[in-house]
Amino acid sequence: MYIPTFKDVQEAHQRIVPYIHRTPVLTSSFFNQLSGAELFFKCENFQKAGVFKARGACNAVFGLSDEAAAKGVATHSSGNHAQALAYAAGRRGIKATVVMPNTAPEAKKAAVRGYGGEVLECEPSTAAREGMLEELVARTGADFVHPYNDHRVIAGQGTSSLELYQDIGELDAVVAPIGGGGMISGTCLTLSNVSPKTEIYAAEPKNADDVYRSVRAGEIIEDDSPQTIADGLKVSMRPRTWHFVSNYVTDVLLATEQEIIDAMYLTWQRMKIVIEPSSAVPLATILKNKELFAGKRIGVIITGGNVDLKKLPWM
Amino acid sequence: MYIPTFKDVQEAHQRIVPYIHRTPVLTSSFFNQLSGAELFFKCENFQKAGVFKARGACNAVFGLSDEAAAKGVATHSSGNHAQALAYAAGRRGIKATVVMPNTAPEAKKAAVRGYGGEVLECEPSTAAREGMLEELVARTGADFVHPYNDHRVIAGQGTSSLELYQDIGELDAVVAPIGGGGMISGTCLTLSNVSPKTEIYAAEPKNADDVYRSVRAGEIIEDDSPQTIADGLKVSMRPRTWHFVSNYVTDVLLATEQEIIDAMYLTWQRMKIVIEPSSAVPLATILKNKELFAGKRIGVIITGGNVDLKKLPWM
């Protein structure tokens, strides 16, 4: 199992710069006052495809040799990674195929197709999904880009906190959401090198607290179909992300569904930015653990802004 | 009637810089592709109090002598100017009193009070509103800061396009929404000095087309209680703003209610920013008049982001 290094992050950044946004870092005097901390929001909701995952996907896609690229890329995902991979492949002019359960919302399929990707529908089970992907890869030679258990993806996600560090300097802590652990792993990889004193907190929905329990158990515990509004955070860690979480994360902080919704609403209302529920989990945990952060400089990773505007959780 | 000069804009900028955000200019490859133009969105929705009006209000408030300031400021408004003036007064530590109809939503009153302002409620008629304000000014000596027919306010609003010009350089055209004309007047004032070749388009709801009709008639025509979702654009011009509109505006472009809603929705969805309906009118007019803008560099003023998140027009 290859664990990516900081050099991989630096190379990733050089590689993907033409294809991604250098996202802005926003501040809010309202949230500074409310939290008692100085917050720096790294806004990956403004990223290409509306999500940080464009970074990892572009790193994987643009790191392929021409020969490998000609065979296309493939993944299984019903979420943001699917769009991000389709975006990256579209920029390189190669084919992206995404295996999705036939129960996935039409909007998600349309988004992948909108970036030029192809959607293959399967029965909504892990076995069906993995089987179809395996068959596809065997048949076409497409490169499988896992949403997070992939060293190229982790190195790509690490470029977000690299930019944050370049723009804002040393931070006392960074708080990022955790699902499978791709963003947190990239954050650990970068910060443990450029700013090892910075604490890293993983923010997780209480309803999908597998990482919280894994850290306490000392091994990966998987959730069984967790129910949370933070739909990007339902998946479980894999060995590569567990490596970073178990070695570098200071602690895992939990937020209830209502706390996530409240933080999301308040962010839209006061910062005027559209963020998805997963992106509100860090702020929710900061507001309920003020004593951990008071008086400190805190980075907050806003991971994405892909949300159904017609179905908002406070309606 | 004192007509402000570009020197007033420059002085305003120096005066207000400590109290306002230098708002970012965002771009969107999606909207560039859709419009065929190169669009630069000046994001005043990220401004203090969520709206460009913080600029004019701060210029008026911080331009007062200590003696005048001690008597406070006052206005009548049930909208964004009320919050902006309360914000500015709060920053200077003086009193702001806002006359509002007793029919105004609680949220608007609460927003003014949230910035430390006082709300005086009156009957919902122009006579009652003006009478109460006049009495207040006579009694307290407070400085009346009109929402737009005030040279200090117009000069303050002109700082937005000054920053846009400083950050982006020459533009072929700028499109801004028009209600009473404060933002457009400030834009005309600045651009006619720093970039006289830049065309200035006023974007107006078809349902509140008093400026469109005024320009064609050659005199101010007032709307009688127009009904539009762009609630910031219902008011009519006054002599100072008519001066700028009649002399400097290239044309007035109209958008229907549905076009405004569609442009607002698409902006939230693709740019991940929260904008109010009034702010969507420029983009709506650009998308329906592509031939005017194709291949050109266009500034788009996003005026504000104060919207009731629980009552969105597409729900």
Q: Are the C-beta atoms of residues B16 and B91 closer than 8 Å to each other?
A: no
Rg, chain A, Cα only: 18
Last residue of a domain, one of A144, A168, A203: A144
Return per-residue pLDDT of chain B as tens, 315 residues. 999 999 999 999 999 999 999 999 999 999 999 999 999 999 999 999 999 999 999 999 999 999 999 999 999 987 899 999 999 999 999 999 999 988 888 888 999 999 999 999 999 888 899 999 999 999 999 999 999 999 999 999 999 999 999 999 999 999 999 999 999 999 999 999 999 999 999 999 999 999 999 999 999 999 878 999 999 899 999 999 999 999 999 999 999 999 999 999 999 999 999 999 999 999 999 999 999 999 999 999 999 999 999 999 998
Q: Are the C-beta atoms of residues A297 and A172 closer than 8 Å to each other?
A: yes
What is the least distance, in Å, from the CA of B191 to any CA of chain A? 27
Do A164 and A227 belong together in one domain? yes
pLDDT tens-digit profile of A126-168? 889 999 999 999 999 999 999 999 999 999 999 999 999 999 9
**Chain B residues inside the 8 Å CB shell of A312:** 309, 312
Last residue of a domain, one of A101, A125, A144: A144
Under an 8 A CB cutoff, do A314 and B310 touch?
A: yes
Q: Count of H helices and E strands in chain A?
A: 14, 10
Which pLDDT value is given to residue A253? 98
Q: Are the C-beta atoms of residues B213 and B237 closer than 8 Å to each other?
A: no
Which one of B26, B275, B309 has the shortest CB-CB distance to A314?
A: B309
**Chain A residues inside the 8 Å CB shell of B80:** none
Percent of chain A with pLDDT over 70: 100
- Residue in chain B nearest A49 by alpha carbon: B270
Last residue of a domain, one of B96, B125, B144: B144
Which one of A46, A50, A272 has the shortest CB-CB distance to B50?
A: A272
Do B131 and B166 belong together in one domain? no
Which pLDDT value is given to residue A27? 96
**CATH number, domain containing residue A60:** 3.40.50.1100
In a domain, B276, yes or no: yes
Under an 8 A CB cutoff, do A272 and B274 touch?
A: yes
Hey, is A64 helix, strand or coil? coil
Do A37 and A160 belong together in one domain? yes
ipTM confidence score: 0.94
Do A124 and A174 belong together in one domain? no
Under an 8 A CB cutoff, do B26 and A45 touch?
A: no
Do A223 and A154 belong together in one domain? yes
- CA-CA distance, A259 to A254, in Å (whole number)? 10
B108, B272, B278: best to mutate for the A interface, most A CBs within 10 A:
B272
Q: Are the C-beta atoms of residues A241 and A185 closer than 8 Å to each other?
A: yes
* Domain count across chain A: 2
Asked if pLDDT for residue A105 goes beyond 90, the answer is: no
- Residue in chain A nearest B313 by alpha carbon: A310
Q: Are the C-beta atoms of residues A272 and B50 closer than 8 Å to each other?
A: yes
Which pLDDT value is given to residue B126? 82
Do B163 and B226 belong together in one domain? yes
User: B38 - beta bridge partners?
Assistant: B297
User: Can you give the residue range of the structural domain that contains A258?
Assistant: 6-51+150-302
Percent of chain A with pLDDT over 90: 92
In a domain, A312, yes or no: no
Do B78 and B221 belong together in one domain? no
- A20 interface with B at CB cutoff 8 Å: no
Which one of B272, B274, B315 has the shortest CB-CB distance to A46?
A: B272
What is the least distance, in Å, from the CA of A137 to any CA of chain B? 32
- Short-list A234, A230, A227, CA closest to A210: A234
Q: Are the C-beta atoms of residues A98 and A121 closer than 8 Å to each other?
A: no
In a domain, A215, yes or no: yes
Asked if pLDDT for residue A78 goes beyond 80, the answer is: no
- CA-CA distance, A163 to B27, in Å (whole number)? 19
Q: Are the C-beta atoms of residues B309 and B57 closer than 8 Å to each other?
A: no
In a domain, B313, yes or no: no
What is the least distance, in Å, from the CA of A127 to any CA of chain B? 34
Do A131 and A154 belong together in one domain? no
For residues A120-148, b (16+ Cβ closer than 10 Å) or e, as one string? Answer: bebeeeeebbeebbeebbeeeebbebbbb
How many angstroms from the chain centroid is the CA of residue A204? 12
Residue A252's identity, in one-letter code, is V
Do A263 and A251 belong together in one domain? yes
In a domain, A310, yes or no: no
- A265 interface with B at CB cutoff 8 Å: yes
- B101 or A274: whose pLDDT is higher? A274
- CA-CA distance, B212 to B230, in Å (whole number)? 16
